Amino acid sequence: MSTSITSAQADRTASGSAWALAGAAVFLVAYLAVSPVAGLFATGDIPLPTDPGEEVKAFLVASPLAAVSGAVLQAVSVLGFAAFARVVVPMTGNRTLGVVAGVSVAAMLISSAITLVSALFAADLSADNLSMLRMASFYAGGVLNVATLGFVAFVASRRLLRIGAVGKGTAILGYVVGTLSMLSVISLAVYYANLFLPLGRVGSMVWTVLAAVVLARRTGRSDR
């Protein structure tokens, strides 16, 4: 009886590790695909959040598929993170971490939804309204999403290291990218701090992949 229970637990652990690895891979790959895929449908340069509303409107009217494809891929990407977090967060025993991970996922989904609405109704919305929506999308999918990703990477690294689920190298990477990500909130006041956004976001994605690989390998060794 005990053997069958142990076997079932091992199967669940292995399945969880596989889901975490798949989620982390989707998280990274789907995000990296955003720029090249959106670029296929873009007419001209994609406007920055700080660009005039007229430029935002002109781009969305001319290239709605660029905005839609980018928003869909970003939504798929963050759902990959959700799959990773659903496996890894319970291992940490930290309920706050689960809430923050949920906020991070919701922030990106809201950002994607705003982009979709903007693209679909660009012709009917004023330049000022589109500019406000663009900034709202940036704050949700940029600063809020990245800062919360960093919190998850930082705290999860400490907890996973404590229980022996990951090694020091993985934990140190989590501390570094987590700090960079959380520093992105400075971009709300200092423009040049925007550099923390891509560094923190991609760094957090790389950390999730590394952490998932380490967990999968350690699970595989424990099953032997």
Residue 1 has pLDDT above 70, yes or no: no
Find where tokens 């596989």 sit: 18
Residues 116-174: pLDDT tens digits? 999 999 999 999 999 999 999 999 999 999 999 999 999 999 999 999 999 999 999 99
Residues 38-95: pLDDT tens digits? 999 998 888 888 889 999 999 999 999 999 999 999 999 999 999 999 999 999 999 9
What does the buried/exposed string (b/e) look like for 51-65 if buried means 16 or more CB atoms within 10 Å of the residue's CB? eebebbbbbbeebbe
Of residues 213, 223, 224, 222, the one with CA closest to residue 17: 213
pTM: 0.89
Who has greater pLDDT, 218 or 166? Answer: 166
Residue 192 has pLDDT above 90, yes or no: no
Residue 7 has pLDDT above 70, yes or no: no
Q: Which residue segment(s) compose the domain that 24 sits in?
A: 2-223
Number of domains in the chain: 1
Residue 15 has pLDDT above 90, yes or no: no
Q: Note the pLDDT of residue 2.
A: 41
Q: Note the pLDDT of residue 4.
A: 39
Who has greater pLDDT, 134 or 10? Answer: 134
Q: Note the pLDDT of residue 3.
A: 41
The DSSP symbol for 178 reads H
For residues 23-42, average pLDDT: 96
Of residues 28, 60, 26, the one with CA closest to residue 44: 60
Residue 12 has pLDDT above 60, yes or no: no
